Amino acid sequence: MSRSSHAIINLSSVQSNLQKLIALTNGAKIIAVVKADAYGNGAVEVAKLLEDKVDLLAVAFLDEALALRNAGINKTILILQGAHHADDFDQGENNQFIWIMHSYWQLDAYREYLSRSKMPPCAWIKFDTGMHRLGFPINDFNRVIDDYGDIIDENSAIVTHLARSDEPDQSHVNMQIASFLKAIEKTEFPLCIANSATSIRFPHAHKNYVRLGIAMYGSTPFEAADNPIELTPVMSLHSQIIALRTIPKGDTVGYGGTWRAPKESVIATVAIGYGDGYPRHAPTGTPAWCNNQIIPLVGRVSMDMLTFDVSGLDDPQIGDLVELWGNKLAINDVAEHIGTIGYELMTRVSKRIPRHYIYPGSPENKGNK
Ligand SMILES: *Cc1c(COP(=O)(O)O)cnc(C)c1O
């Protein structure tokens, strides 16, 4: 292997995070969300790991679901955005997909498809209770259920999504849940409300199914301080120092000369950049980890390289490992410096970065504790 940049994906952490979440959501059925290549961690590997440990897998759209089928994943897959086109239903035929319905055109197209295909319906219905992104207006609940009784049956879960479950203020969440529960009051459909943040913070929203994404991948979806469960990072993004130099006080580093050395400084060049998914707008001061210390990014992010001020390290060497985030450095801490969230950093890591998997039970786990 010539280049040293890679992501270590610890699947045993996925498993242990999931176990904690299962214990917390006592009894709710588990939907493991593996969209966006399992948040950059590898959808096929994660789906293989979880297939027999969860009730459903979920992806955003049809192509993601078909990719899992083509890779030999047999678990029922929930398609969160539902059909994008009327012929999605034909393309997904005989695949054990559950379609979310959030628009009338989808229900009409599905009805038309069912009349041709003679397949049994397999639809969940999404309602908008205040996120205002997808879903029928919650006030249309009775209308949808009455008008589409041929598509909706007792297995059709009724779904909503909360906009602000990661914030300290709970009023918007409570408003959304209250309007949802009021509308569905006298019905007996299974219910599905909670993502990771909601599952952790709002036990009364667990209901029949929970949709778990980011927490399985070991990043807390809100301020870590108020998280009652300890999550273990799954992805560690690693590179190494490929060059070292000492520059005099007053010289600048990188494109545009945006950082000027306040004193004589040792600069390490690290072999990863925005072409690998490390955000270009990461500012000077964004932390990485090297030789048991935090080192600050200095100057602009390039396509293939980063520069760090390693003046504080004892004896930096070419070849030294640098962790951009992961076991030693929480992805959320890095995200905060960059003005983003762990979700985005994880999902952006590009195809250029090889993923190395640590499997549950493998001896490498011991070194990762
Ligand atoms: C992505 C997604 C989830 C998972 O959210 P996390 O915050 O990662 O747990 C849940 N529900 C829907 C509708 C989603 O799109």
pLDDT (tens digit per residue) in 212-266: 999 999 999 987 777 889 999 999 999 999 999 999 999 999 999 999 999 999 9
| Mean pLDDT within 198-204 | 95
Q: Which of 299, 274, 276, 275 is nearest to 286 (CA)?
A: 299
Band of the pLDDT at 365, cuts 50, 70, 90? low
* pTM recorded for the entire structure: 0.96
Rg (CA), the chain: 23
- Between CA 194 and CA 213 the distance in angstroms is 11
- Residue 262 alpha carbon to ligand 1 centre in Å: 44
Phi/psi at 127 (nearest 5 deg)?
-120, 145
Q: Looking at ligand 1, which atom is closest to the CA of residue 343?
A: 8
The predicted model gives 124-134 an average pLDDT of 98
In the chain, where does the domain assigned CATH 2.40.37.10 lie? Answer: 235-358
Fold adopted by 11-217: TIM Barrel (3.20.20)
From the CA of 60, how far away is ligand 1's center (Å)? 9
What number of other Cβ atoms are within 10 A of residue 103's Cβ? Answer: 15
pLDDT of 210 higher than 60: yes
Ligand 1 site-directed mutation target among 126, 211, 214, most atoms within 8 Å of CB = 211
Ligand 1 centroid vs 59 CA: distance in angstroms?
9
Q: What is the mean pLDDT of the chain?
A: 96
User: Sign of dihedral through CA atoms 341, 43, 41, 224?
Assistant: positive
Quote the ligand 1 centre to 36 CA distance (angstroms).
Answer: 11
Rounded CA-CA distance 108/250 in Å is 67
What residues does ligand 1 touch, defined as CB less than 6 Å away?
33, 35, 80, 161, 195-197, 211-215, 221
CA distance 71 to 67: 6
**Alpha carbon distance 92, 1 (integer Å):** 39
Predicted confidence at residue 50, as pLDDT, reads 98
Residue 362: what pLDDT?
A: 83
Which parts of 68-154 are beta strand (E)? 77-79, 97-101, 123-128, 136-137
Question: Where along the chain do the CATH 3.20.20.10 domains lie?
Answer: 11-217
Q: Residue 368: pLDDT above 60?
A: no
Domain with residues 235-358, CATH architecture = Beta Barrel (2.40)
| Residues shown for the chain | 369
By annotation, the residues acting in catalysis are: 35, 255
Residue whose CB lies within 8 A of the most ligand 1 atoms, among 31, 33, 192, for a mutation test: 33
Pairing of strands 259-260, 252-253: antiparallel
Pocket test for ligand 1, best of 14, 80, 164 (most atoms within 8 A of CB): 80
